[in-house]
Structure 1
Amino acid sequence: MSRIVYVNGAYVPEEEAKVSVFDRGFLFADGVYEVTSVLEGRLLDFEGHMRRLRRSLAELDMAAPASDEELLEIHRELVRRNGVEEGLVYLQVTRGAADRDFVYPAGVAPTLVMFTQEKQIVESPAAERGIRVISIPDERWGRRDIKTVQLLYPSMGKMMAKAAGADDAWMVEEGFVTEGTSNNAYIVKGGRIITRHLGNEILHGITRAAVLRLAREAQMEVEERPFTIEEAQGADEAFITSATTFVQPVVAIDDVEIGGGRPGPIARRLREIYVEEARRNAV
C-alpha cells in the first residue's frame, strides 16, 4: 500500500507527490529539515524539534510554512493515515520555487514536504551489539548547527564506513571529534560522560539535550569539551545519540575495541532511561 505524504497543504499518495524543478531545495540545497521519532503512535521530543526548526529557519532568513500547532496536527495526521506505530516523520522546508538565482527570491511561499517511515527503533540489534566506527576528516561547511539538507558529505562518510566494513564514521577537525555523520558522539571515562560542547561545529541534537538532562538527573557526571580519536580509543565506553537511534553504543573506533568490544553499562542505562522517558512524554 502506498504511503500518504504531505506536500504544500495536500495529503497525497507518494506516487502523486510533486515539487517544482525550480525549487531551491533541489537547486541550491536551500532548505532545512527535522526528523521526529514515533513510538507507540506518538511523537517524541516534538517541542524540541520545533524549537530547532524555528532556529534553523531564522538563521537562513527563511519563512516558516506553518505554526507549531499546525505542524503538530500534520504530523499526527500522517501518523494516523499511514498507521505508523514505530518509526519517524520527516519534515523538510525549502525557500520555495523561483527562477535560478543565487540571491534569495522575494515573495515566494516556502515548500513544505512531510512523510513517514516505519522503522524498528526500540528493539534494535545495533543497540544490543554496538556499532563500529571509523574516523574521517570533517569537510563540511562551517554552519553545522543549522539543520540543512546539505547532507552529501555525511552520505559520503557513511559510504566510507561501509567500504571499511564499519557502521558509521566520526568526523575529525583540527584533531578533535566533531560528531558522527548523523549523530552526536560521546565517550565515557572513569564514569564521566564526555561530549563536544555546543557551537557552530556540531548539530545541536534534540536527543543529545534530552540524554544529557537525564544523565544529570541520574547523578551522572557530564563534561562538555572536545576529545580526540586517541582519547576515545582509550575510553571505557563510547556511544552516539540521535532521534532514530536513541542511545547506541560504539564498540570499536578505527578497529580499536572499546570496553572489550561490548556495549557498556552507562550507555545501556542511558538508553533505558531515555526510552522510559520517551514513553511517558510522547505526544
Structure 2
Amino acid sequence: MEKVLVNDQILNRDESKVDIEDRGYQFGDGVYEVIRVYSGQLFTGDEHLERLYSSAEKIKMTVPYSKETLRGLLEQLIKENQIEDGSVYMQVTRGASSRNHVFPGENVLPVLTANTKVVARPEAALVDGVEAIIADDIRWLRCDIKSLNLLPNLLAKQEAVAQGCFESILHRDGTVTEGSASNAYIVKDGVIQTHPATNLILNGITRQVIATLCKDHQIPFVEKAFTVDELLAADEVFVSSTTSEVMPIIRVAGKTVGTGKPGPITKKLQSLFFAEIGR
C-alpha cells in the first residue's frame, strides 16, 4: 500500500484526505517542490527545501515544521515506499477555512502533504535531443515563487505536446524567460547564456547546479537575457529541470538548432551532471 505524508503523519493513501475548503484547492494558495530521488536518496534536498521555505515566506505563509523535521519525514516516506529512482512531491497550503479572499486567522494552520512516485530517467531523449515551440509568456510577475498557480504553464506545455514537441520556450515581448516547466539556455561561440534569476523566472535547483559545474570546470556561463532571434540563431539550445536534467533541444519552432544533434557544450555539461548524480 502506497504511503503519503499529511502534515507530520505518514498514512496509507486511502486513509488520507484534504478538506473541501482547503485554500490550495480553492485559491491555489500555497507553494510546492519536486525533489528528484536517485538510488533512494534526495538529490539537492536541502536546496529544494530552502526554496520551499523562501516561497512560503514570499506569500506570507509559515511552513509548520523545521527544515530538518520535514527532510526526515520525506526520507522516511521514500524509504517506506521503496523509491530508488523517482521523485517526491510536496506542497504546503494556507490551510482550510471558510472561502474568503482575506487570509484566515492564526487559528488556521497550514497543511503539508507529500507523495512519491517512480520516475525513470529520460535516457533516450537526453541522448537524441527533443523539440520545442516558442510561446508568449502570459504568467504573473512573481515567477520566482514556486506557487500552486500553474495554469499558464499547463497551457503552454499542452500546446507543445499538441505540436509533437517536448517543451514551450516562453518569451515576454521577444525576450526569452524560461520554459513552461524548465529553465532555458543557449550556447553561442562556446558561451552558455540564460536569463538572470529575477522575478521573471524560477531559479531552478538544476539551474544552480549547472552554474556551479560551469564555474568549477571553466565553462563560460553568463546570466544575461537573450531574445527569440538569438534563440533561433544559437549554436546549441538546452533546457533543465529536476526531472529532465540537462535536456538538449535540437529543433525550435521547426528550425534546426546547430547540426540537429546535441552539441559539444551541452554534452560536456550532461557528462558533468551525470557524474554529479552518480550515473
* TM-score calculated relative to the size of structure 1: 0.95
Residue 116 of structure 1 aligns to a residue whose secondary structure is strand
Aligned partners of 2:278, 2:147: CA distance in 1, in Å?
Answer: 28
- Could you tell me which residue of structure 1 aligns to residue 231 of structure 2? 232
Q: What residue ranges of structure 1 are gaps of 5+ in the alignment?
A: none
Aligned partners of 1:264, 1:3: CA distance in 2, in Å?
Answer: 41
Deviations 1:218-240 (A, max 9, x none): 10111111112221111111101
Residue 20 of structure 2 aligns to a residue whose secondary structure is coil
The Cα of 1:275 is off from its aligned counterpart by 2.2
Deviations 1:35-74 (A, max 9, x none): 1100011111111111111110110110112111111111
The Cα of 1:168 is off from its aligned counterpart by 1.1
CA-atom RMSD in angstroms = 1.2
Aligned partners of 1:264, 1:182: CA distance in 2, in Å?
Answer: 22
Aligned partners of 1:12, 1:248: CA distance in 2, in Å?
Answer: 35
Residue 226 of structure 2 aligns to a residue whose secondary structure is coil
- Could you tell me which residue of structure 2 aligns to residue 82 of structure 1? 81
- Could you tell me which residue of structure 1 aligns to residue 48 of structure 2? 49
Deviations 1:2-24 (A, max 9, x none): 42111122222223321001100
Q: Which residue identity is paired with 1:225?
A: K
Residue 259 of structure 1 aligns to a residue whose secondary structure is coil
Which segment is superposed worse, 2-11 or 97-106?
2-11
The Cα of 1:146 is off from its aligned counterpart by 0.3
Aligned partners of 1:173, 1:10: CA distance in 2, in Å?
Answer: 43
Q: Which residue identity is paired with 1:58?
A: E
The Cα of 1:279 is off from its aligned counterpart by 3.2
- Could you tell me which residue of structure 1 aligns to residue 277 of structure 2? 278
Kindly indicate whether the alpha-carbon contact (under 8 Å) linking 2:93 and 2:111 is maintained by their aligned counterparts in 1: yes
Aligned partners of 1:115, 1:5: CA distance in 2, in Å?
Answer: 5
Kindly indicate whether the alpha-carbon contact (under 8 Å) linking 2:181 and 2:241 is maintained by their aligned counterparts in 1: yes
1:143-158 to 2 correspondence within 5 Å?
143-158=142-157
- Could you tell me which residue of structure 2 aligns to residue 58 of structure 1? 57
- 2:272 is aligned with 1:256: no
- Could you tell me which residue of structure 2 aligns to residue 95 of structure 1? 94
Residue 133 of structure 2 aligns to a residue whose secondary structure is strand
Residue 232 of structure 1 aligns to a residue whose secondary structure is helix
Aligned partners of 1:272, 1:48: CA distance in 2, in Å?
Answer: 22
Residue 241 of structure 1 aligns to a residue whose secondary structure is strand
- Could you tell me which residue of structure 1 aligns to residue 109 of structure 2? 109
Aligned partners of 2:214, 2:10: CA distance in 1, in Å?
Answer: 40
Aligned partners of 1:3, 1:255: CA distance in 2, in Å?
Answer: 42
Q: Which residue identity is paired with 1:8?
A: N
Deviations 1:107-142 (A, max 9, x none): 211100000011112x62111111100011111111
The Cα of 1:178 is off from its aligned counterpart by 0.7
Kindly indicate whether the alpha-carbon contact (under 8 Å) linking 2:94 and 2:111 is maintained by their aligned counterparts in 1: yes
Aligned partners of 1:135, 1:153: CA distance in 2, in Å?
Answer: 14
The Cα of 1:193 is off from its aligned counterpart by 0.2
- Could you tell me which residue of structure 2 aligns to residue 193 of structure 1? 192
- Could you tell me which residue of structure 1 aligns to residue 66 of structure 2? 67
Identity of aligned residues (%): 38
Work out the number of aligned pairs and report it: 278
Aligned partners of 1:196, 1:274: CA distance in 2, in Å?
Answer: 20
Deviations 1:226-261 (A, max 9, x none): 112221111111101111111111111100011221
Kindly indicate whether the alpha-carbon contact (under 8 Å) linking 2:8 and 2:73 is maintained by their aligned counterparts in 1: no
Deviations 1:85-112 (A, max 9, x none): 0011101000000110001111211100
